[in-house]
Amino acid sequence: MYKVHCLNNISAEGLAVFTDDYELVDDIAQADAVLVRSADMHEMELPASVKVVARAGAGVNNIPLQEFADAGVAVFNTPGANANAVKELVLAGMLLAARDIVGGIEWVKENAADENVGKAAEKAKKAFAGGEIFGKTLGVIGLGAIGAKVAVAAQALGMNVVGYDPFVDAERAKAISADMASVPDLSDLYPACDYITIHVPALKDTVGMIDEAAIAQMKDDAVFLNFSRDTLVNDAAMAAALEAGKVARYVTDFANPAVVAMPRAIVMPHLGASTKEAEDNCAKMAAQSVMDYLERGVTLHKVN
């Protein structure tokens, strides 16, 4: 009998994947496997019984990969399981940025007591007017599971798409979309795009990559979207760009005091993968990885 401990709430549909050979335990000291979502494991000392950790999600920056590898603990993630959920929120973010929808909704709430709010809205609505995304150009940095879905969906909405990913060759880029322009360098993407969305992991080479120099290359009034990792964007540089009007809108899924204080920033409370479907998919994939590894030594999606 294998024993599994959950550090976070894990979807019941995911846990149902486990066969009768698996038992959920409250005490991690008894566990052979650990399932985790957002809990920070960097300061944890795993008991010697733990052989595998599976994260129900793609990012693994909350897990000390090398430390666990040195201890003989395999770590798995669930790439692509939440890709559709994030894709849909990126599209929503673009639409929120294109028109001042948030401002318009707030105006209605503020004037809810006015019995003539309908008539007043006809005069007020011009303050919340914007543009359309149809015909605009979207730059997609990172063409993995999420970036590829965003690119295809944006084209379906009538956008032109420019893609950049140093790990995706021309053949793979064409397989994602024959109509997508794939560029070899970010300096080709930045000045060409009205909207830019980033979908890369937080690594040594990517942390802070959206800095003053990168922003300076962007088209004036560009909209930047970050639904990937908070550390990819230099907050001070983005705040300065918004203050100066260089960047029209910053849409991000990562709240912190600096970001919340930025003018014209649309900040969400990390909702990217917060759908029932995504949570179920991630949990199912994580549970299956645990079983495949413990029973057969399968290492698909092992990240350490």
3-state secondary structure at position 1:
coil
Q: What is the pLDDT of residues 255-295, one digit of tens each?
A: 999 999 999 999 999 999 999 999 999 999 999 999 999 99
Alpha-carbon distance 74 to 113, whole Å?
A: 58
Structure tokens at 185: 């360098």
What pLDDT is stored for residue 171 in this prediction?
A: 94
Q: What is the pLDDT of residues 122-177, one digit of tens each?
A: 999 999 999 999 999 999 999 999 999 999 999 999 999 999 999 999 999 999 99
Residue matched to tokens 């003989």: 72
Signed CA dihedral, 255, 260, 262, 267: sign only: positive
Q: What is the pLDDT of residues 180-202, one digit of tens each?
A: 999 999 999 999 999 999 999 98
> Residue 59: pLDDT above 90?
no
DSSP string, 261-293: TSTTEEE-SS-TT-SHHHHHHHHHHHHHHHHHH
User: Stretch 75-88: mean pLDDT, rounded?
Assistant: 97
Share of the chain above pLDDT 90, in %: 98
> In whole numbers, what is the pLDDT of the chain averaged over residues?
97
Give residue 244's identity as a one-letter amino acid code. A
User: Stretch 89-96: mean pLDDT, rounded?
Assistant: 99
What is the number of other CB atoms lying within 10 angstroms of the CB of residue 261?
A: 11
The highest-level CATH class for domain 2-79+276-296 is alpha beta
Q: What is the pLDDT of residues 21-51, one digit of tens each?
A: 999 999 999 999 999 999 999 999 999 999 9
Residues 6+ apart with CB under 8 A from 207: 231, 232
Same fold, 2-79+276-296 and 83-267: yes
Q: For residue 58, name the pLDDT band (cuts at 50, 70, 90).
A: confident
Per the CB < 8 A criterion, the answer to whether 297 and 103 are in contact is no
* Distance (Å) of CA 4 to CA 13, 71, 160: 15, 18, 46
The highest-level CATH class for domain 83-267 is alpha beta
Domain segments of the chain as ranges? 2-79+276-296, 83-267
Alpha-carbon distance 233 to 217, whole Å?
A: 15
